[in-house]
C-alpha cells in the first residue's frame, strides 16, 4: 500500500516505478490543454485494447465515458478561454449540450469554417444520446437522455469511429481558442 503514490516533495527512490501525476504544462493554461490530451490518449489506449482483446464489448462503457470526458474537457477549456459562463455545478455541470450551446453563443467556433462548425454541432448532437452526461458509462443502471438505460437504446458502439470523431472534435474545439507556443501534440495531430 505504501507504493500507490508518492508525495510531491518526495525526492527519494520510487520503488515499484510510477508515472508523474503532473500535467507537465508550463502554465495552468497549458495544463488545461494537457488534460484534454491525456483523455485523448486514454481513449486511444482503450480502443486499441478493445480491438486487440477479441471481446471489445468489455470496454464499451469505459470508452463511452472517456469519449464524454474528452469532449467535456475540451469544451471546458474552450469556454474558459472565451470567458463563456456555463454551469460548473448542479445537474447540467456535465451536459455536453449545455456546454456546446455556451461555446456556440460565446464564439468559440467563430474562427472555424462553417463546415467545421456544423460538424462539431452535429457530433455533439450525435454523441449526447449515447453518453448522456457521462453517467451511462459509469453506472450499470445509468440512463441516457430519454430516461432509458444505455443498452435498451443501443445494441453496439463503434469504438474506433467514436475515438476518431471525439479526438477530431477536441482538436477542432481547441484549435481556435488555444494560444500556446507548443500545443498538445496528440490533440493537434
Looking at residue 49, its pLDDT comes to 94
What's the confidence (pLDDT) of residue 186?
Answer: 45
Tally the residues of the chain. Answer: 189
Render pLDDT for 166-185 as a digit per residue (tens, 0 to 9).
999 999 999 877 654 444 44
Say which DSSP state 58 is in.
Answer: G
| C-alpha cell at position 44 | 486511444
Residues of the chain with confidence (pLDDT) below 70: 1-4, 6, 14-20, 22, 134-137, 145, 178-189
pLDDT of residue 181: 42
Rounded distance between C-alpha atoms, residue 85 and residue 99, angstroms: 9
Q: What is the pTM of this model?
A: 0.84
Amino acid at each position: 500500500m505504501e507504493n500507490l503514490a508518492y508525495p510531491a516533495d518526495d525526492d527519494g527512490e520510487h520503488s515499484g516505478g510510477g508515472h508523474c501525476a503532473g500535467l507537465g504544462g508550463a502554465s495552468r493554461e497549458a495544463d488545461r490543454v494537457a488534460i484534454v490530451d491525456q483523455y485523448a490518449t486514454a481513449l486511444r489506449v482503450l480502443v486499441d485494447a478493445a480491438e486487440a482483446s477479441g471481446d471489445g464489448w468489455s470496454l464499451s462503457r469505459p470508452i463511452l465515458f472517456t469519449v464524454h470526458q474528452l469532449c467535456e474537457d475540451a469544451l471546458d477549456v474552450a469556454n474558459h478561454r472565451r470567458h463563456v459562463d456555463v454551469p460548473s455545478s448542479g445537474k447540467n455541470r456535465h451536459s455536453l449540450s449545455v456546454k456546446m450551446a455556451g461555446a456556440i453563443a460565446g464564439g468559440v467556433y467563430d474562427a472555424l469554417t462553417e463546415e467545421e462548425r456544423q460538424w462539431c454541432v452535429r457530433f455533439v448532437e450525435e454523441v449526447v444520446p449515447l453518453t448522456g452526461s457521462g453517467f451511462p458509462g459509469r453506472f450499470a443502471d445509468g440512463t441516457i437522455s430519454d430516461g432509458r438505460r444505455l443498452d435498451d437504446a443501443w445494441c453496439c458502439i463503434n469504438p474506433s469511429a467514436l475515438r476518431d470523431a471525439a479526438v477530431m472534435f477536441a482538436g477542432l474545439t481547441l484549435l481556435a481558442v488555444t494560444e500556446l507556443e507548443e500545443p498538445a501534440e496528440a490533440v493537434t495531430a
